[in-house]
């Protein structure tokens, strides 16, 4: 029995569709694996960098406050944060974390330029509280970047609360 056009075309179409499906699936899988690897590497680098950032923010903690916040202390913190940003971690920050960092630095700068300090250089309580809140917002965003305030992504939500 001679071959018909349908006998030749149908297997070719099926083979071509299988080939296209295989290429698309392989491409999608490769991109997914690359993205997952990139995300894991970025999270690892962020964890290292943010650990150092948190050390620099310790003097701005609220509970319990580690000591008086003076103009010179704020100036020192601002310089330490700037050094950290440019030499260590700024490149790893998400956009929201970077914005929170900038707002903190702006708040410190504004507070450093104000003349509402007592004779011993301690800032007014409302200024200190504003700076502490800005530092807290930055810390919050960094935890969101590295997912440290969430339960394990591998376990059920009911176990991670």
Query: Is 70 exceeded by the pLDDT of residue 51?
Result: yes
- Give strand pairing partners of 70: 122
Between 54 and 3, the more confident residue is 54
Most confidently predicted of 70-79, 85-94, 108-117, 123-132: 85-94
**Backbone φ and ψ of 154, nearest 5°:** -95, -10
Largest CA distance in the chain: 108
Distance, CA of 87 to CA of 97 (rounded, Å): 17
Q: To the nearest whole number, what is the mean pLDDT of the chain?
A: 84
- Two structure tokens written together for 129: 């509280």
pTM: 0.71
Residue with tokens 């179409």: 13
Can you give the residue ranges of every domain in the chain?
42-159
> pLDDT tier at 139 (50, 70, 90 boundaries)?
very high
Percent of the chain's residues with pLDDT above 70: 85
**Backbone φ and ψ of 74, nearest 5°:** -60, -40
Which of these, 50, 34, 39, 37, lies nearest to 149 by C-alpha position? 50
């Amino acid at each position: 029995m001679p071959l018909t056009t349908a006998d030749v075309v149908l297997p070719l179409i099926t083979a071509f569709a299988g080939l296209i499906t295989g290429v698309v699936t392989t491409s999608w899988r490769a991109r997914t694996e690359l993205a997952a690897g990139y995300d894991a590497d970025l999270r690892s680098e962020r964890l290292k960098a943010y650990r150092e950032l948190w050390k620099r923010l310790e003097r701005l903690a609220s509970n319990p406050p580690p000591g008086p916040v003076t103009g010179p202390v704020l100036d020192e913190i601002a310089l330490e944060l700037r050094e950290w940003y440019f030499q260590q971690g700024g490149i790893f920050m998400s956009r929201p974390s970077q914005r929170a960092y900038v707002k903190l630095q702006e708040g410190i700068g504004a507070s450093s330029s104000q003349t509402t300090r007592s004779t011993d250089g301690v800032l007014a309580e409302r200024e200190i509280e504003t700076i502490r809140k800005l530092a807290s917002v930055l810390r919050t965003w960094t935890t969101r970047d590295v997912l440290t305030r969430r339960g394990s992504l591998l376990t059920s939500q009911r176990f991670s609360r």
